Structure 1
Amino acid sequence: MTSTTAAVVESGGAEFSLSPVDLDEPRHDEVRVRLVAAGLCHTDLGVASGALPFPLPGVLGHEGAGVVEAVGAGVSRVEPGDHVLLSFTSCGTCGNCRDGHPAYCDTWLPQNLIGGARTDGSSPVTRDGKDLGGHFFGQSSFAQHAIVDERSVVKVDSAAPLDLLAPLGCGVQTGVGAVWNVLQPRPGHTLLITGAGAVGLSAVMAAAMTPATTIIVVDRVAERLRLATELGATHTIDASTQDAAETITDITSGAGIDGAVETTGNTAVLRTAVDALAPRGTAVIVGAPAFGTEVALDVNAMIPGRNVIGLTLGDSETQTLIPALVAMVQSGRLPLDKLITHYPFEDINVAVADMVGGSTIKPVLRFQ
């Protein structure tokens, strides 16, 4: 058993509090990782608020980066001393996993988002002998050390800057995957990205590396729209002063958009994106509102081949996509540093407040 310090959410709506916890030794298919950095994501905040049935008290965190300290007997991907990024977990044996789509694993929801435990019901994290909600995305990385599923681990070059790369595990691969894996823009295509947060701006950077010639970004924060332009947007719309639907029509001369990435979780924004689609266009739903939220669509408007598709984690195969993204960050082609603000792990609640307030796009916690 390993003793460490974790940021624990005691109950829904409570702040994170640093607390001593104990970790199991790695099981057959698990790895113990010493965390160097962890990104903070809106999904963490949604669970911490009590909006999802994750067992609390619990340890969240799902964009970890660190160094392997110990491995289970069956682990073959990594060994002690390896530098790794942490992402979601999956079973590896269901049809979607075998087909290269682990984000749609049969076990995805309980094993990543709401279960808080391994498949046998145990948690790798305890406090005073009692299980805490853990195994979040196979990692629970808001802690100085974590027990991680082997399938959550991606080995990276030891020279790679872990405190810059941590967000690749969720937010960045989600935005990038929406463009590269789903929309797959063809020469001359027009793309719309609603919301200039970490996921939306990752989609902008990805779109800028495609043959799309028009990249439209909608947000309400002028500073984020300026950054979107710096990262590759050809047009921006300030929704606080402009009518988005009318402006999209003007930009496209009424032809509509070929693809949209909706990251805000706002149903009115989603409806605007769908209504703006050209025939055979596709809107990708990334932003997640409260469970049970519905949106009305004009059925007849969908008949000319318009598509609406939901997306989890960019529909990414992590062992393929994440190393490619690492290489692009290292070469300067994916300027991820422009999104990130670093905080000491101890200041996690400051990072949360800055993220909620909008002054920080992507907080990344650094561990001593």
Structure 2
Amino acid sequence: MQVTAAVVQEKSAPFVIERLELTDPRPDEVLVRIVASGMCQTDLHGRDSYYNTPFPAVFGHEGAGVVEAIGSQVTRVEVGDHVIISFPWCGTCPNCRRHMPADCQSSLDLKFSGARPDGSTLLNKGGTPIYSAFFQQSSFATFAIANELFVVKTRKDAPLEILGPLACSGQTGAGAVFNTMRPRQGEALAIFGVGAVGLSGLMAAKIAGCDPIIAVDVHEKRLSLAQELGATHTINHTGRKSVVEEIRKITGGGVRFSLEASALPDILRESVECLMPAGTSVLVGSARAGTEVSLEMPFLQLGRKVHGVMQGESNPIEFIPTLVDYVMDGRMPLERLITFYPLADINKAADDSSNGRTIKPVLRMPS
């Protein structure tokens, strides 16, 4: 079938809107009409060849839409269901067998190879393959195909156009708090970088009863929003001599948890140095391969930990519906993070995101 999609022809090239041919779903696959797709920094890293995805390629991995067709073996969703397409996992590696899909040992290939596991592509133009299946979906398009394992059914009274970010940024930030940290009421948390991931973690921390909740960023507008969403303290990192000392002063010695969402080595070090003994820093920021950080070993020996997290360490089938319920009851006002763009304005969305003008771009698909 013919679809409209945003194609990147080569490394760091602009997105170009093109008409492409989408293959038919296989017996275990679902065809989804994409209503809207969030744009994540990972999509822009893919465009810029952080992950060696071949070109030309279609990116997008926060798709939300309506099931249009299902394969003969699909049992979890039906035509007409509202769905969010989440991250892929193999289902057979040791971590998947331990119900740890976010830590799938094949996840990098499944996310970034540009093809299904068997090497086939989902899209083509005049018979020439277009690398797709980014996160096994490529949702910067009017339609997408995904294996039923990665498709999460959601309640129909929830507005689909704001739900796509729960597939990655929302799930990552909130999952880092709910699934990894599991804070107790009144425990202190600092968030370094209050973009879409950091703010999702902040909203989860408020739901969990963390106190204080300290937001650190360089954008005053984001810090103001963080305060509106539940931060008890905000710190503008620009020009501060010691953010760590300020956090220790606020907390009387350090935080139980920190969430590092900037992917900057110096900031990760700060997120560790602000911990109390036995505290944990959770790294969710996406850095380029080879990025390194130095830490003082004696400081870590008092039980301090650095915990790397992918996709919020969640089981999406169970976790995403819970997040949707939080959105619908007003405890996770995801819409406060979102700026909508038509698919035709995808390059503006990418530029606004990179320059901090937009926290979470969401692309609405043409009808």
Query: Which residue matches 2:98?
Result: 99
Query: SS at 2:179's partner residue?
Result: helix
Query: Which residue matches 1:334?
Result: 332
State the shift of 1:104 in Å. 0.9
Where structure 2 has 5 or more consecutive residues not aligned to the other structure, the ranges are: none
Letter of the structure 2 residue corresponding to residue 52 of structure 1: Y
Query: Which residue matches 2:9?
Result: 10
1:282 to 277, 280, 283: 280
Q: Do 2:260 and 2:283's aligned partners in 1 also have CA atoms closer than 8 Å?
A: yes
Q: How does 1:55-204 map to 2 (within 5 A)?
A: 55-112=54-111, 114-204=112-202
Q: Do 1:16 and 1:349's aligned partners in 2 also have CA atoms closer than 8 Å?
A: yes
State the shift of 1:366 in Å. 0.6
Separation (CA, whole Å) in 2 of partners of 1:201 and 1:157: 23
Q: Do 2:183 and 2:208's aligned partners in 1 also have CA atoms closer than 8 Å?
A: yes
Q: Do 2:272 and 2:281's aligned partners in 1 also have CA atoms closer than 8 Å?
A: yes
Separation (CA, whole Å) in 1 of partners of 2:171 and 2:60: 16
State the shift of 1:94 in Å. 2.6
Q: Could you list the per-position Cα deviations for residues 7-32 of structure 1 after superposition, in whole angstroms to 9, with x for gaps in the alignment?
A: 00100110100111111110121111
Separation (CA, whole Å) in 2 of partners of 1:147 and 1:289: 28
Q: Could you list the per-position Cα deviations for residues 241-289 of structure 1 after superposition, in whole angstroms to 9, with x for gaps in the alignment?
A: 4331221121122x11110100001100000111111111000111122
State the shift of 1:234 in Å. 0.8
Separation (CA, whole Å) in 1 of partners of 2:94 and 2:103: 9
Q: Could you list the per-position Cα deviations for residues 71-124 of structure 1 after superposition, in whole angstroms to 9, with x for gaps in the alignment?
A: 111111111111111111112233322322111112211001x21111111111
State the shift of 1:149 in Å. 1.5
Q: Could you list the per-position Cα deviations for residues 48-71 of structure 1 after superposition, in whole angstroms to 9, with x for gaps in the alignment?
A: 012220011011000001111111
Query: Which residue matches 1:27?
Result: 26
Residues 246/228 of structure 1: CA separation in 2 closer, same or farther (3 Å cut): same
Separation (CA, whole Å) in 1 of partners of 2:231 and 2:255: 14
Letter of the structure 2 residue corresponding to residue 330 of structure 1: M
State the shift of 1:219 in Å. 0.4
1:216 to 214, 217, 220: 214
Q: Could you list the per-position Cα deviations for residues 297-341 of structure 1 after superposition, in whole angstroms to 9, with x for gaps in the alignment?
A: 111111111100111010110001100111111111111111001
Query: SS at 1:79's partner residue?
Result: coil
Q: Do 1:123 and 1:135's aligned partners in 2 also have CA atoms closer than 8 Å?
A: yes
TM, length-normalised to structure 1: 0.97
Query: SS at 1:202's partner residue?
Result: helix
Letter of the structure 2 residue corresponding to residue 46 of structure 1: H
Letter of the structure 2 residue corresponding to residue 59 of structure 1: V
Separation (CA, whole Å) in 2 of partners of 1:147 and 1:17: 20
CA-atom RMSD in angstroms = 1.0
Letter of the structure 2 residue corresponding to residue 56 of structure 1: F
TM, length-normalised to structure 2: 0.97
Indicate whether 1:231 and 2:247 are aligned: no
Query: Which residue matches 1:248?
Result: 247
**Percent of aligned pairs with the same amino acid:** 48
Q: Do 1:139 and 1:152's aligned partners in 2 also have CA atoms closer than 8 Å?
A: no
* Total equivalences in the alignment: 365
Q: Do 1:63 and 1:169's aligned partners in 2 also have CA atoms closer than 8 Å?
A: yes
Query: SS at 2:208's partner residue?
Result: coil
